Amino acid sequence: MTQAVELKAPDITPYRKGNTGIPYATTFRAAAPGPHVMVNALVHGNELCGAIALDTLFKADIRPRRGTLTFSFANVAAYERFDPANPAASRFVDEDFNRVWSPEVLNGPRDTVETRRAREMRPLVDTVDLLLDIHSMQRLSHPLALCGPTRKGRELARAMRVPAFVVSDQGHKAGVRLRDYAGFGTEGGAKRAALVECGQHWKADSARVAIQSALRFLLAVEAIHPAGAAPLLEPDPPAQRFIEVTHAVTIAHEPFVFAEPYVGLEVVPKAGTVIARDGAEAIRTPYDSCVLVMPSMRLTKGLTAVRLGRFVD
């Protein structure tokens, strides 16, 4: 069942030209030296909250206190196809933009709307030191920060203080995410990235979470003055909880059917509990108190059905 669309897709055409030579990418430079910080939205064309967050930051004249700050809209071609009457259809045009960020794909022959846009953005992304990638989710679930498997990713998520739940994960077998591209996904080096899932795609609250996540990220990396964020910033959030993902269930057969209508963050008490069937194979929890992370509604062979993890507070 498709959720009601409570958000209005903002007009982002004023940001088309930008100033980087790459459409829909705008960079601001401070006098003081510092890192290159990027806030990115619209990796998926039907995830409106990121576009709303960037539109809000533009209109609030958020500018860097040091270094360079870039606001970018990624898969604009998919976003331009967004239709509130069929909101799930514009996730991408040809393929998932968040599975193409490997050298093999970017340097290879594959020619799609998404690979062309990724190659167009790549020279800019290569100069970025600190990245926030804003997303939303299919199901009505708590917002999540996906910090990757590295210590530096966990430290960045902790410094942001939002959302309340942080997931340390390895990504997807189907392809490499932007947040894991090059130095962002390795333990060494100064590059760091966070991905925030701001709640269900079209719920009004996802836009609020996206704006707060962007502001908290920019404050955590000292990219902006606290005074500039103050008019938009909400009170300090509660303490976060961290989940370490140990297994990613990749669909091997069809049909894939969950045992219950899971939405995410359910804690299954006993090891060995059947949570799904992958064709004839039973998918069981590997240990007690197993947390189900982001169960998918796209249950197609080769895709990630759900991640399994545990709280590690």
Name residue 83's amino acid: D
Same domain for 123 and 41, yes or no, is yes
Task: pLDDT band for 174, please (50, 70, 90 cuts).
Answer: confident
Contact 144, 167 (CB under 8 A): yes
Q: Specify whether 54 is located in the same domain as 133.
A: yes
- List the domain range (segments joined by +) for residue 264: 245-311
211 and 138 both lie in a single domain: yes
Distance of alpha carbon 243 from the chain centroid: 16
> Which CATH number goes with the domain that contains 298?
2.40.50
Does 203 fall in a domain?
yes
Q: d(Cα 198, Cα 247) in Å, to the nearest integer?
A: 23
At 146 the three-state DSSP class reads strand
pLDDT band at 181 (very low <50, low <70, confident <90, very high): very high
Q: Where among 198, 229, 260 does a domain terminate?
A: 229
Residues 222 and 272 in one domain: no
Q: What are phi and psi of 203, to 5 degrees?
A: -75, 145
The answer to whether residues 256 and 216 belong to one domain is no
Q: What is the pLDDT of residues 117-161, one digit of tens each?
A: 999 999 999 999 999 999 999 999 999 999 999 999 999 999 999
Same-domain status, 197 and 145: yes
Same domain flag for 103 and 144: yes
Q: Report the DSSP beta bridge partners of residue 134.
A: 196
Sign of torsion, CA 207 38 151 126?
Answer: positive
- E strands of the chain, at which residues? 25-29, 36-41, 68-73, 130-137, 144-146, 165-168, 192-200, 241-250, 256-258, 267-268, 274-278, 281-284, 290-293, 304-311
What is the torsion angle, in degrees rounded to the nearest 10, for the CA atoms of residue 244, residue 247, residue 251 and residue 253? Answer: -160
Same domain, 218 and 301: no
- Mean of pLDDT values over 259-284: 98
Residues 178 and 306 occupy one common structural domain: no
Instruction: Classify residue 127: in a domain, yes or no.
Output: yes
End-to-end Cα separation, the chain, in angstroms = 35
Closest CA to 192 of 131, 121, 123, 124: 131
Mean pLDDT for the stretch of residues 279-283: 97
Residue 4 lies in a domain: no
57 and 196 inside one domain: yes
Reported as a pLDDT band with limits 50, 70 and 90, residue 275 is very high
Distance separating alpha carbons of residues 144 and 137, to the nearest angstrom = 9
Please check whether residue 110 lies inside any domain of the structure: yes
Q: What is the pLDDT of residue 86?
A: 96
From 202, 229, 256, the end of a domain falls on 229
Cα–Cα distance, 233 to 223 (Å, whole number):
15
Q: Is residue 23 part of a domain?
A: yes
Residue 3 lies in a domain: no
Residue 156 contacts residue 185 (beta carbons within 8 Å): no
Per-residue confidence (pLDDT) for residue 267, from 0 to 100: 98
Q: Is the predicted pLDDT of residue 1 greater than 60, yes or no?
A: no
User: Model-level pTM greater than 0.75?
Assistant: yes
Q: Are residues 75 and 217 in the same domain?
A: yes
Mean pLDDT of 60-86: 98
List, for residues 38-61, the tens digit of each pLDDT value: 999 999 999 999 999 999 999 999
Of the three residues 229, 258, 282, the one that is the final residue of a domain is 229
Structure token pair of residue 245: 């993902």
Q: Count of domains in the chain? A: 2
CATH number of the domain to which 176 belongs: 3.40.630.10
Q: Tens digit of pLDDT for each residue in 2-42?
A: 689 999 999 999 999 999 999 999 999 999 999 999 999 99
Q: Are residues 24 and 146 in the same domain?
A: yes
Name residue 195's beta-bridge partners. Answer: 133, 146
Confidence at residue 2, expressed as pLDDT on a 0 to 100 scale: 66
Per-residue pLDDT reduced to its tens digit, 76-96: 999 999 999 999 999 999 999
